[in-house]
């Protein structure tokens, strides 16, 4: 059982430290640790922004701080991205997420690598869920959390989300590179094989709530232990606010995992 600390006062946070897992400037991660000896369970945290270079891991700093205050190590992972200033896409973005997760097994830090989950928002939610299906991982995941996740890349392509970001990420449409969509989309890689939590706001006008509703139904049908929480009042960004009800759902789920 993974336990979450009950109060911020019990687990004050150290100043996060940045580590490099590759030579590219984007191949870095910030490690947020609770104070104390540990070893601590760890959450690999992945930011959104439709995989575009103009968005970075600072989006997730508030929730990483909150995780550390609750007795979790937070590994705020950056990765190569697409668009101006980026040199990611297929397969670089995915290779970075895998390498960044595996780096946890080599860190000289008080982390319990037997208790690791992935957690991501939007495009980061896609990557958090995809990581559960990765082969030859050096770190075995206990769970995965997708917050308003772009979980079906083929559907994202058909809807033209964020001006065709899925096509840009994978170098073509589902008709042009179907093998990449099959390899990269959680919706096409079920079952995930580990417990998962999907959260979505019914008022989300960036990633339709149907992405999480449909993935949940398909995951359960495939035999996964998958929980779904839809908030009727939320949009897209409440998930990365530590004061929100959506984030409280995350921390409760972690405590009960």
Phi-psi region of 83 (alpha: psi -120 to 50; beta: other; left: phi over 0): left
Q: In tens digits, what is the pLDDT along the chain, a chain of 257 residues?
A: 333 333 334 456 678 999 999 999 999 999 999 999 999 999 999 999 999 999 999 999 999 999 999 999 999 999 999 999 999 999 999 999 999 999 999 999 999 999 999 999 999 999 999 999 999 999 999 999 999 999 999 999 999 999 999 999 999 999 999 999 999 999 999 999 999 999 999 999 999 999 999 999 999 999 999 999 999 999 999 999 999 999 999 999 999 98
Prediction pTM value: 0.94
End-to-end CA distance of the chain: 6
Helices 92-102 and 123-131, axial angle in degrees (round to 10):
60
The full set of domains in the chain, from first to last, is 8-256 (3.40.50.1820)
At 165 the three-state DSSP class reads helix
| Angstrom distances, CA of residue 132 to CA of 32, 143, 185, 196 | 22, 8, 11, 9
């Amino acid at each position: 059982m993974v336990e979450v600390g009950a109060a911020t006062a019990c687990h004050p946070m150290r100043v996060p430290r940045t580590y490099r897992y590759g030579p590219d400037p984007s191949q870095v991660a910030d490690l947020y640790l609770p104070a104390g000896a540990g070893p601590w369970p760890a959450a690999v945290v992945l930011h959104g922004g439709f995989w575009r270079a103009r968005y970075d891991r600072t989006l997730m700093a508030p929730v990483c701080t909150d995780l550390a205050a609750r007795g979790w190590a937070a590994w705020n992972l950056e990765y190569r991205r697409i668009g101006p200033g980026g040199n990611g896409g297929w397969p670089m973005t995915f290779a970075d997420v895998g390498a960044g997760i595996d780096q946890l097994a080599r860190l000289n830090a008080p982390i319990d690598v037997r208790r690791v989950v992935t957690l991501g928002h939007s495009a980061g939610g896609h990557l958090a869920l995809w990581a559960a299906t990765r082969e030859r991982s050096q770190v075995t995941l206990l769970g995965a959390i997708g917050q308003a996740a772009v979980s079906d890349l083929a559907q994202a392509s058909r809807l033209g989300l964020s001006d065709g970001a899925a096509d840009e990420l994978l170098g073509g449409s589902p008709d042009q590179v179907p093998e990449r969509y099959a390899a990269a989309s959680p919706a096409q890689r079920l079952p995930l094989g580990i417990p998962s939590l999907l959260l979505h706001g019914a008022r989300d006008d960036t990633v339709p709530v149907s992405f999480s509703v449909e993935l949940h139904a398909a995951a359960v049908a495939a035999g996964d232990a998958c929980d779904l929480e839809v908030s009727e009042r939320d949009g897209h960004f409440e998930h990365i606010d530590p004061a929100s009800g959506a984030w409280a759902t995350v921390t409760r789920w972690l405590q009960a995992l």
